[in-house]
Chain A
Amino acid sequence: MKTRRCPTKLLVCIKQVCETETSFLIDETGRWIRLEEPSAFRMNRPDEYAVEEAVRISETIADSSIEVISVGPARVSAAIRRALGMGAAHGIHIVTPEDGYLSPFVTASWIASFARNREYDLILTGVMSEDEMQGQVGSMIAELLGMPCATSTVSERLLPETGTVRVEREIEGGLRDALELRLPAVLTIQTGINEPRYPSLSKLLRANKYELETIDSRSIGDPEPPEQVIRVSYPEHTRAGLVLNGTGQEKAAHLLRILRERSLIQ
């Protein structure tokens, strides 16, 4: 195996999402969602675990650096700064003109073309985004860059001296799938692998003054989206969905009656 040059370079791909408690409205075209104003945005939680994992790796390897990249409109810079506050050294923002459906393939293509000649040893991202829940971008980046990849990673050990990373993927039934990947590699990080830290105040203050590397998405290729979202709607009820009314006390009494009638309680 070829020897790795120093330093070890890590790239974490993050997404900014809106709070899931938000009400999602359907826009006038019926093809995409609109958020209730004002809405709160934050870093996608699985990506927080990915940033934390990168910080932990970096703490064990003397000569290493972490960069964070995100794709999206101007607001996304807040999530990048939070990652800087957690310990990343540099932030890259691929700026898209507006909100709307962005095919995971398009996002992955942009990140891959950015990362292609930058010699990252390890690219990390969350297992999926909490809003669209597709879980495709990390896997596609790996394939576009010809790198090996492990998804749903629940433990990892980077071994720069052998040019490998050992990982365990969480699979169904309480099992784990152990793998060794040659670097450079892509890992998508499952939630629960660590405890994401809060950004430190001093780092956040520095992050707020830090000039992010911004790239106009139109300047790094125009990949054709392989799929379109043609309609969005609210899900149908699959069960009775009896909504209890009244005060909390009345609802409690009503629920008790229902459960008794069904012999679910004595």
Chain B
Amino acid sequence: MIDQNIVVIGEHFQGKLKRVTYDVLACARELERLRPATVRVVLLGDDVAGPAYEIVQVTGLDVIAMHIPGLLSYNREVYTGVLEDLLDVLKPAYICAAATTEGLDLAPALAVRLRASCVTGVERVLEVDGRVCFARTMCGGKIVAQVRPETDAAVVTVQPGSFEVTTSEDTIPGAVDIRRVDFEPRRSRSLGVTIGQAEDSGLQEADIIVSAGRGIGKRENLDLIDRLAALFPKSAVGGTRPVCDLGWLEYKKQVGLTGATVTPELYFACGISGAQQHLSGMRGAHFIVAVNSDPHAAIFNVADVCVVEDVATFLPLFIKEWEQSLPARETSTSDSDST
């Protein structure tokens, strides 16, 4: 029997490979472990040579680089058009992309074109009764569903950070196959990628992040978050997407897949449910404390310490307890640069 094909769609921008491509490759490797397969990486764009040579060097895999003059960034119409033709020939059993805004844009469209199934946000690959399934979370992270493709091909998007990325020394470089394709989109036109907002949020430098979710109840309770953060040296305030959507915090404070990825010493999650979107941005924190009144909140699955309490009642107790434990003469407790 001929090995099946697995295709990984690589992400890149301005001539640089995006790290998330390695997360996708790690998922493809898991699939390869279950069924003998040939894994290939496909890149599309005007400037694909750099990323292509990086992949073959680091992974030893072969890369098909679709050189599309004029395609400076991802475009759905071009990607689906070019990939449909290529994948019709390769007939891969699995097409893996990242669970990013790009992958989420592409995967369902590609699945429809290829009459394939589509599974988004894959966190684990498993075999059940001799068939390959994908585990993904839903319901704000409270439930894990095992999804089984019923089609010959499946397009999956891989949740960043879910698979262990390994690198081996002494890899024999794979081959780069550069193919020039001309493709003019007819119904869409890319107008360029721009910077949406300033990045300086203090989140990256902070040792301690106190973060707010919708579960803090109301905007006024952000005062508690600020007060708690001020007690820690080198701290910053962050939040979930819904809190930013409500206008309670600026978007630059958002932690998660579409916001910042942070790895502080302590992540203090207040009223955060723990949806995958958010966990992707903070699961690398060294120590996680979660306060939430919902005992089933998914954040408790990734927390080191779980406090099942309402944020609005617990934080004042905690702040008071802390302040009372400090020597009376101490005056600089709210000086956030003191150490």
Contact = CB atoms under 8 A, between A and B. Distances in A.
A172 B100 CA distance: 8
B53 interface: no
Interface string A227-245: 1111111111111111110
Range class of the A interface residue count: 35 or more
A133 B275 contact: yes
B321 A252 contact: yes
Contact of B322 (A45, A151, A238, A265): A265
Contacts of B305: 240-242, 244, 255, 258
A131 B325 CA distance: 43
Contacts of B317: 248-249, 251-252
A217 to B, nearest CB: 19
B307 to A, nearest CB: 5
Interface stretch (A7-15, A58-66, A135-143, A206-214): A135-143
Contacts, number: 267
A122 to B, nearest CB: 13
Interface in A135-190: 135-137, 139-140, 142-144, 147-152, 154, 166, 168-172, 174-182, 185, 190
A253 B275 CA distance: 28
B128 interface: yes
A256 interface: yes
Contacts of B287: 262, 264
A20 B150 contact: no
A104 to B, nearest CB: 7
A242 B241 contact: no
Contacts of A225: 150
Contacts of A115: none
Contact of A136 (B73, B120, B128, B193): B120
A176 B232 CA distance: 34
Contact of A135 (B104, B196, B322): B104
Contacts of A28: none
B309 interface: yes
B116 A179 contact: no
A33 B277 CA distance: 21
Given A131-B139, A251-B307, A104 B146 contact: no
Contacts of B147: 227-230
A226 interface: yes
A192 interface: yes
Residue among A172, A234, A264 with most chain B CB within 10 A? A172
| Interface residues of B, dominant DSSP | mixed
A92 B43 CA distance: 41
Interface string B89-108: 00000000000111011011
Interface in B205-225: 208
A240 B80 CA distance: 44
Contacts of B296: 23-24
A205 interface: no
Given A33-B139, A177-B74, A152 B101 contact: yes
A235 to B, nearest CB: 5
Interface of B: 73-77, 80, 100-102, 104-105, 107-109, 111-113, 115-121, 128, 133, 137-151, 154, 186-199, 208, 231-232, 241-242, 244-245, 247, 251-252, 257-258, 265-266, 273, 275-277, 283, 287-289, 294, 296, 298, 300-309, 313-314, 317-318, 320-322, 325, 339
Given A176-B193, A265-B231, 4 more contacts: A26-B143, A133-B138, A140-B112, A171-B101
> What 7 A-B pairs are tightest by C-beta distance, nearest first?
A226-B117, A178-B191, A139-B108, A143-B112, A192-B245, A227-B117, A148-B187
21 contacts: A105-B117, A132-B138, A133-B138, A134-B120, A136-B107, A151-B101, A152-B104, A152-B105, A154-B196, A170-B196, A172-B101, A182-B188, A192-B241, A226-B116, A230-B133, A230-B146, A232-B143, A232-B145, A256-B321, A264-B265, A264-B287
